[in-house]
Structure formats: C-alpha cells, structure tokens
Amino acid sequence: MTAITLSLPQDTVSKAQDIARDRNMDLSALVSELMQEMVRSHEAELRFRAYAERGRGREEEALALLGRD
C-alpha cells in the first residue's frame, strides 16, 4: 500500500469522519473505498467511450440487428 497526504478543508474532513463513523469504518478506509469506486467508474467510462467509438458510423447496422430499421 502507498500512503498519501491530502489537503482538505476542515469542514470536509469533519463531514467525511461523520460518514465513516456512520459506516463503522475509519476515515482511511472510507477514502480508500471512494478512490477505488472512482477508479472503477473511470475505467467503465473509458470502456463505454471505446465501444461507442467502435460503433460510430454503424448506427444503421445496429438498428437493423435490433429489427428497428
């Protein structure tokens, strides 16, 4: 694991600590969970954009496959 240092407004830290406490986890675990979700979301977006690019210009073919031409 790698340690990082974050500079955040105290209000944000306080609210994040409240969220972590509500979820029965420490702040480090909450931040780790959030970062992992952000990475998964970003990777999904990149895959979606790649699929969209591969299908660009093939809309009629796709609609025909769906029987909606």
pLDDT in 10s for each residue of the chain, 69 residues:
899 999 999 999 999 999 999 999 999 999 999 999 999 999 999 999 999 999 899 988 888 989 865
C-alpha to C-alpha distance for 27 and 48, rounded to whole angstroms: 31
Residue 4 lies in a domain: no
- What is the pLDDT at residue 69? 56
Residue 42 lies in a domain: yes
- What is the pLDDT at residue 46? 98
Residue 50 lies in a domain: yes
Residue 5 lies in a domain: no
Residue 1 lies in a domain: no
- Work out the number of other CB atoms within 10 angstroms of the CB of residue 53: 9
| Interacting residues of 50 by C-beta distance below 8 A, sequence separation 6+ | none
Residue 3 lies in a domain: no
Residue 2 lies in a domain: no
- What is the pLDDT at residue 62? 85
Query: How many distinct structural domains can be found in the chain?
Result: 1
Whether the pTM exceeds 0.85: the reply is no
Q: Which domain holds residue 44?
A: 10-65
